[in-house]
Structure 1
């Protein structure tokens, strides 16, 4: 096997041997390469264009399956491969599938650019999958998957691939806009809410991942059954949606970010439903209570199929019974509650107050501190950074990286909290909307605002969000905790020269440079 798609890849170079750092066995990684090769074969057969809705769904689900910490199950991956091959055969084409070894062994710069595109597609497929679950699709987004996959399997030059890298980011902005529309039209515009971290006594279910549709179905199926529902990880922002808040048994948030699950789920007296990543290798102390759905799968775990009948999860919750007494929990910094719901609807609703605070000098600077969390050392930088920010600055945040600091109480400015959680990683669209509106209000572009992006990354959704920010021309982004192994020195030099993309240093030194 060879895999270097996540931030924690072995030695900062790539995972080889019997398993990846994520715990994925070599045989599963090889199958996922075969799935990617089949997807490129389908794009070849369709001549880089969408042949229809069934193929679109197979492509999106196939790409999503290969995102880090999503699918560890060989049979599930084989099923996805068969689905893709069936769509290719329906075209009556004989196009060969792509051998991924030719990508990993190609010229360093070409490999780097093609990998940026491929990983961007994987991240974008996750967002397209969630939108499609709510009945929202975009033909331009779906068609781009084929165009880009065809290019990945072709010859390619620096001159032909660099524009495609930027186009991947541009198309992803449309995909995130689509998902934002799907979520808000289905569940309402998020509103600020305080979410407790304690778990009440009695039966409960923990739901992890990103898929609000699965959460809604679970809430419906558990009504009146005496079972409470707790979000985990990236599902936390669900508490801000009005139509999900209507369910009184949606109680709070369990635990912190994904990389702590093996400790936090140890002996948990409740089932955990994974709707998307990040699933880690399952330990014996809670093996009998992990359930998966959609493209998430793990050997030996009960999988909830397309009918979305969560009866096995409900039965397990009643069987285990939950905690016998109220169970207090805290965030990383000892806080007992967190806030969320500060999407673009809320922030722009207070635009006059925000703009006034900037003009009066009450707000001197905005920081977007967001992205993925992870277990690799160095991520305490983000906690230290937020703690060190001056009291006249505001921290916007999103994705699971916020668990490093979202339980901190660092005060308010003009009635607004200094930490505003804008949502999941796919809610990066909210940050773009807010930044664009502020730029318009001050007669400048985003780069002219007192705004700095300090991002953390782990997997492929973070990659495609970065590509979107670059495609928008946003500069001076600080990225960490390490730079991607798949970015070659020449490509990194291009990004540094054209976008001033900079690796993080120390929290205090970076703050001094930003505010100088």
Structure 2
């Protein structure tokens, strides 16, 4: 059985995974994810048409987020869960169809997705998924298909951010409206190449809205992050490790473990959660363990407690710790325990039955919590340092980490950046250098952790505020973006930066396999996007 998946940076041979995903995705799972997107397209066509009749279904909107998010890299590897989502897509589609017909509306689309009926057994569903393949217009030109994939992968990242915000009670119908319109548009032969460029950049515009919603959701629920020193060692006692991105799951776990003698540690992109005042109040929320997602197999096997995977980032669990790992939300791996309805008692029981750490360990600490409020609170000092020449340049070095060779570039870049420059970072790309001691400039740390990839809005707001302070455009600031990408949330963020007109972005370790030379040339011509080269060459070019 073969497959084709090219949505992540590590895709095989730089073109696409055809035997098994580098992420561990099996061909059966790839086929079911393709089929889920196809079923979702049929639902989206009805939802888009329904809006013209005033039919807006909140359940359909939420499902749109969750279905797209379930196909993001390292989220859902469970065939049964994917089959259930396909069934749900058809159920919701038929409900919308009945509502539409009841109000005198019509579906004029000849797209077969509107009438698709899933097979009743798993093997036949997989065959249907293989027949469907990637969700593009197979009759369109290669460049249009490239734009459709760029848009689709950006939409997956957008849906992830929308789902994070929704969990905390924040939503905006414009997000679902765009996702449904864009899905329904795939296959529309009346759209030109320029139309597809517009739709793709609109993904960036709507993602900016979703990130703003998420920022508001996080800060209203947990307060604005504050600079916080996070221990890298551990305390003697029982332990639970939390990875992923979900703040609500972390909050609920902290509540349910209070007074039980269990210390809670973060892994990966959960590190920045230590900066939130509302979460800091829990005395058993202690420190950070490990680094980025791709190192979990060697790091998790040595963790003496239970492990919770929230949102994306899961890899195939090793037998050494498979019984100790739990998933929540949309995350799924066959045979792994799943937490449902926010009840973490099975996870807690497992942690109490494991040895935990047998003694205290000191391993130093790292700083986090430099989100927009923290940086803007010292904006006067930053601006003065720039005016006096103490700070010559800002670099945003961040994004996704990964296992593919070439990512040592980012460590070298940070270490070789001149001592009169400041490094802003976010997402798991920071784990290449997060524990480096870079010193400070007049009391301002040279390494400022803005947060998760979910906190890209904060970094953008810092740049906007600086541009206003210096009365110039963002592109004229002494600020350079040097980004690493891996999965679809990074695509969404890049599209947001392009929507905002930010230019001269350097990206690596390699360019997306789904972008054709012609589409890449459009990005180069309009935004001066550059692939990374060598640290020495890039630093020289930026600082010249």
Deviates more, 1:79-88 or 1:313-322: 79-88
Aligned to 1:494: 522
CA distance in 2, matches of 1:191, 1:151: 43
Judging changes above 3 Å, is the alpha-carbon distance between structure 1 residues 443 and 255 closer, same or farther for their aligned structure 2 residues? same
Secondary structure of residue in 1 paired with 2:413? helix
Aligned to 2:7: 5
CA distance in 2, matches of 1:417, 1:101: 45
1:272 aligns with 2:273: no
Secondary structure of residue in 1 paired with 2:395? strand
Aligned to 1:470: 498
1:396 aligns with 2:424: yes
Aligned to 1:260: 295
CA distance in 2, matches of 1:475, 1:248: 44
String of CA shifts for 1:456-494, please: whole Å, max 9, x gaps. Answer: 000000000000000000000000000000011000000
Q: 1:92-171 alignment to 2 at 5 Å?
A: 92=97, 95-97=114-116, 99-101=132-134, 103=136, 105=138, 106-155=140-189, 156-171=191-206
Q: Which has the larger radius of gyration?
A: 2
Whether the 8 Å contact between 1:118 and 1:152 is mirrored in structure 2 is no
Q: How far did 1:86 drift?
A: 1.2
Whether the 8 Å contact between 2:137 and 2:186 is mirrored in structure 1 is no
Instruction: Specify which of 91, 94, 102 is matched with residue 89 of structure 1.
Output: 94
Report the RMSD for the aligned CA atoms in angstroms: 1.4
Q: How far did 1:442 drift?
A: 0.8
Secondary structure of residue in 2 paired with 1:479? strand
CA distance in 1, matches of 2:48, 2:332: 31
Where in structure 1 are there 5+ consecutive unaligned residues? 330-335
Q: How far did 1:187 drift?
A: 0.3
Aligned to 1:483: 511
Aligned to 1:325: 359
Q: 1:347-496 alignment to 2 at 5 Å?
A: 347-496=375-524
Q: 1:222-261 alignment to 2 at 5 Å?
A: 222-261=257-296
Where in structure 2 are there 5+ consecutive unaligned residues? 99-106, 108-113, 117-128
Whether the 8 Å contact between 2:31 and 2:133 is mirrored in structure 1 is no
Number of aligned residues: 508
Secondary structure of residue in 1 paired with 2:459? helix
Whether the 8 Å contact between 1:40 and 1:153 is mirrored in structure 2 is no
Judging changes above 3 Å, is the alpha-carbon distance between structure 1 residues 227 and 372 closer, same or farther for their aligned structure 2 residues? same
Judging changes above 3 Å, is the alpha-carbon distance between structure 1 residues 258 and 270 closer, same or farther for their aligned structure 2 residues? same
Q: How far did 1:101 drift?
A: 4.6
TM-score by length of 2: 0.91
Whether the 8 Å contact between 2:429 and 2:484 is mirrored in structure 1 is yes
Secondary structure of residue in 2 paired with 1:103? coil
